C-alpha cells in the first residue's frame, strides 16, 4: 500500500518539486564559488599585466631598477595563474588567450621598453628597430606556443620562453645596478646584440627545459635539495646578482641541450594547422565511409559504424 502511495502522481510531483528546489539551492551556492575560482587566475593574470605596464612607465621615467623588479613580479604572476587554473580545474580558452595578451605586454613590450630607454637609445633609429624586433619575436613566440599546445613534448619548450627572455633583460639591469657600473657605451654594445640574440632564441627551435611536469609530491635527490637551498641562500644574500645568474643559466641551457644532441620535434603540423585539418577531413570521411560500407552490406547491426545516427 505504501509502495502504491509512493508511485502515485501526487507523490511523484512532490518529489520532483523537492528535487528542483534542491538543485536550485545548490546552483545558488555553487555558482558564486565557481565564479570566484574562475576569478582567481584572471586576477593573477591582471596583476601580471599591470606589473608589466608599471615596468614600462618606470623605464620611461628612468627608474630602471624598479622596472626590472616589476618584470619579476609579472614573472611570478605568470607562474601562479597557470598553476591556480590547473589545480582548481578552471582552465579555459579565454584564460589562455588572456594570458597570452598579458605576456605580450609584460614580457614583450615592457622589456623592450626597458632595453631601449636604458641603453639602446644611444643607437637612435637602430635602437628602435632592435627593441621592436624583440616585441615582434615575443608575439610570434606566444602565437606559436598557442598553436603547438598539446602537440609537443611537455618536458621541453620549443624556443626560449618569453618570460625567460624578459627575465634575462631584467637580470642584466639588476646586475648592472648591483655592481654600480657606469659605462653607457659599453652597456649599449652589450645590450644591442643580447636583445637580438634573445629575440632569435624565442622564435628558434632550440629546446628549453619546462618545469610544468615537476611533481612536488615525488621524492627529490639530496643533491637537488642542497642546490636549491644554496640558491635560496644566495638569493637572500645578493638577490640582484643571483637572479642574473639564474636567468643566464636558463638562457644558456637551451643551446647546451641542442649541442648535446637534443632537438625539438613537434608531434603535429605547426604551419597552416587549419588548412592541414581541412585537407585531412575529407580523407577521414572517406576512410569512415569505406569502413561503413561492408557493415551495411552484411547487415551487421553490432558494428557501431552501421548504426544510424541518433
pLDDT of residue 265: 54
217/160: higher pLDDT: 160
What are the grid coordinates assigned to 141, written together?
A: 613566440
The alpha carbons of the chain give a radius of gyration, in whole angstroms, of 27
The secondary element (H helix, E strand) that includes residue 291 is helix 273-298
What are the grid coordinates assigned to 39, written together?
A: 576569478
- Nearest to 71, CA basis, from 84, 60, 58, 81: 58
The CATH number given to 12-267 is 1.20.120.1760
215-238: average pLDDT: 79
pLDDT-derived band of residue 176, with 50, 70 and 90 as boundaries?
very high
Provide the mean pLDDT of the chain: 79
The burial of 27, by beta-carbon neighbours within 10 Å (0-12 exposed, 13-18 middle, 19 or more buried), is given as: exposed
7/190: higher pLDDT: 190
pLDDT of residue 26: 63
Q: What are the sequence ranges of the domains in the chain? A: 12-267, 274-300
| Residue 255 pLDDT > 90 | yes
- Nearest to 251, CA basis, from 214, 212, 213, 206: 206
76-100: average pLDDT: 85
pLDDT tens, residue by residue, 261-286: 876 554 434 444 444 444 444 444 44
106-122: average pLDDT: 96
What are the grid coordinates assigned to 98, written together?
A: 588572456
CA angle 231, 81, 98 (to 5 degrees): 130
| Residue 204 pLDDT > 80 | yes
| CA gap 255, 260 in Å, rounded | 8
| CA gap 145, 139 in Å, rounded | 10
- The answer to pTM > 0.75 is no
Beta strands 207-209; 156-158: pairing state: antiparallel
Residue with cell string 621592436: 132
Amino acid at each position: 500500500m505504501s509502495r502504491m502511495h509512493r508511485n502515485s502522481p501526487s507523490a511523484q510531483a512532490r518529489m520532483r518539486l523537492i528535487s528542483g528546489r534542491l538543485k536550485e539551492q545548490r546552483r545558488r551556492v555553487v555558482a558564486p564559488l565557481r565564479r570566484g575560482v574562475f576569478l582567481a587566475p584572471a586576477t593573477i593574470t591582471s596583476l601580471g599585466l599591470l606589473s608589466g605596464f608599471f615596468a614600462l612607465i618606470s623605464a620611461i621615467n628612468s627608474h630602471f631598477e624598479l622596472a626590472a623588479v616589476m618584470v619579476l613580479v609579472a614573472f611570478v604572476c605568470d607562474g601562479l595563474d597557470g598553476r591556480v587554473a590547473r589545480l582548481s580545474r578552471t582552465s579555459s580558452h579565454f584564460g589562455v588567450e588572456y594570458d597570452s595578451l598579458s605576456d605580450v605586454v609584460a614580457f614583450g613590450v615592457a622589456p623592450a621598453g626597458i632595453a631601449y630607454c636604458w641603453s639602446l637609445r644611444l643607437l637612435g633609429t637602430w635602437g628602435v628597430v632592435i627593441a621592436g624586433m624583440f616585441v615582434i619575436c615575443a608575439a610570434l613566440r606566444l602565437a606559436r606556443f598557442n598553436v603547438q599546445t598539446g602537440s609537443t613534448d611537455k618536458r621541453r619548450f620549443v624556443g626560449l620562453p618569453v618570460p625567460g627572455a624578459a627575465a634575462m633583460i631584467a637580470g642584466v639591469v639588476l646586475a648592472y645596478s648591483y655592481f654600480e657600473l657606469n659605462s653607457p657605451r659599453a652597456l649599449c654594445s652589450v645590450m644591442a646584440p643580447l636583445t637580438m640574440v634573445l629575440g632569435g632564441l624565442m622564435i628558434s627551435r632550440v629546446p628549453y627545459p619546462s618545469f610544468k611536469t615537476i611533481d612536488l609530491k615525488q621524492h627529490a635527490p639530496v643533491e637537488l635539495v642542497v642546490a636549491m637551498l644554496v640558491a635560496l641562500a644566495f638569493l637572500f644574500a645578493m638577490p640582484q646578482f643571483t637572479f642574473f645568474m639564474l636567468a643566464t643559466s636558463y638562457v644558456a641551457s637551451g643551446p647546451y641541450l641542442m649541442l648535446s644532441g637534443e632537438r625539438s620535434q613537434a608531434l603535429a603540423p605547426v604551419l597552416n594547422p587549419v588548412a592541414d585539418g581541412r585537407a585531412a577531413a575529407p580523407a577521414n570521411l572517406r576512410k569512415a565511409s569505406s569502413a561503413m560500407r561492408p557493415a551495411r552490406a552484411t547487415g551487421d547491426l553490432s558494428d557501431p559504424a552501421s548504426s544510424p545516427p541518433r
